[in-house]
Structure 1
Amino acid sequence: MIVRYAQGSDLPKLAALYRQTVLVNAPEYYTHAQTQIWASFSRDADQFKQFILGVTTFVAEDDSGILGFAGIGEEGHVVSTYVRKDYLRRGVGSILMQAVLEQAREFKLKRLYAEASAFSLGLFQKLGFQIYDMEVVDRQGVEFQRYLVELNL
């Protein structure tokens, strides 16, 4: 497996991975309406491009293709962590988050923070992130509860 920076040419594959990850994993924790709204984000090409290329996004891949991605903004916001459904719980998320942590050190950040879903919360906690609050957000009239997590470096 290699970890590299995301490129514009990755966007269609990353959008498909994002959508598939949400559609497979979200139903265990979220309603059908929540899952569908969440997955639909990948269809907005401009917003998805900003989501991936507007921050530093790392991509993990092997001979089978892209395994996952994780992104961090310059201010320490971990904006994404998604792993292909057939590679869950095989260390890909941890490897991607290690790249995020290295980037944070390069940026000389003192704190990382994220809005974790119910199915990504375990990964964040495994890496030492702590829940400091919860929030409810509205997406197209559908409410979502998220965990606000942080890691002091």
Structure 2
Amino acid sequence: MAEADSFSVSVADWQRDETDIAQIRRRVFIEEQAVPEAMEWEARDAECDWFVARDAGGAIVGIARLTPDAHIGRMAVLPDWRRRGVGSALLQAALARARQKGLARIGLHAQVHALGFYARLGFAAQGPEFDEAGIPHREMFLDLTE
């Protein structure tokens, strides 16, 4: 288990961090989860709020984004850093930004194996399971006004 000070989470600077964010996305989504590369990159990436988790040496070990239309996505943590609080810290940072922006409701597409993770942080699943990039997902929402 990681010590609380073994990583830190901050808002990314897209211009500075884009290449490192892309490396995490490539490793986790494209290589590990076999997401087709054409589905991974989006023109709106630069318009999103990005959050990065960095190890003590400053290397990015996890990422998340908040889109302008109030969705959290591209949550990815490198394998060696999973189950060490990185994902929760990234999600909390994204939720804090959403609240700061006055957003009333946040949505996301959760991989089915991660439903419990998001549920523990207050998200509720809605609707049926669906396929996204060959991976089963469910839509989840969290009301921020309660």
Query: Smaller-chain TM-score range?
Result: 0.7 to 0.9
Pick one of 122, 137, 141 that aligns with 1:146. Answer: 137
- Unaligned ranges ≥5, structure 2: 1-7
Identify the residue that residue 87 of structure 2 maps to in structure 1: 93
Displacement, 1:104? 1.1
- Between 1:100-109 and 1:14-23, the stretch displaced more is 14-23
Matched with 1:19 is 26
Q: Is the 8 A contact 2:9 2:54 kept in 1?
A: yes
- Name 1:127's counterpart in structure 2: 121
1:9 aligns with 2:16: yes
Q: How many residues align?
A: 135
| Identity, % of aligned positions | 27
Q: Deviations over 1:122-145 (max 9, x none)?
A: 321121101011353565xxx543
Q: CA deviation at 1:82?
A: 0.9
> TM-score normalised to the size of structure 1?
0.75
- For the residues of structure 1 that align with 2:89 and 2:44, how far apart are their CA atoms? 23
1:54 to 27, 31, 47: 47
- TM-score (structure 2 length as normaliser): 0.78
C-alpha separation in 1, matches of 2:108 and 2:142:
9
Q: What residue identity is the alignment partner of 1:118?
A: V
